[in-house]
Amino acid sequence: MSTRDTPAQIGDLPPIGRPAARALLEAGITTLSQVATHSRRDLMALHGIGPSAVGMLATALAERGLAFAEL
């Protein structure tokens, strides 16, 4: 699957870009509540997710009263 085939936005996740969206899809993560079960470090370890995507996810989590899991 190329990133062209990956939607730019998935579920209630913010538009974080196709490479990051693909990484989350491959990890089975499609919602912010699922993102909240992972630490920043876990997500950064996924190929395609960088500081920018993690920052956008952190903002979206905070807007919903959620946060990344602690290590």
* Tens-digit pLDDT profile for residues 5-14: 666 678 899 9
* Tens-digit pLDDT profile for residues 7-65: 667 889 999 999 999 999 999 999 999 999 999 999 999 999 999 999 999 999 999 99
Q: Which residue reads 């899809």 in tokens?
A: 25
Q: Answer with the residue of higher pLDDT: 2 or 6.
A: 6
Asked if 66 contacts 38 with a C-beta cutoff of 8 angstroms, the reply is no
Nearest Cα residue to 37 out of 2, 70, 65, 1: 70
Distance CA 4, CA 70 (A): 33
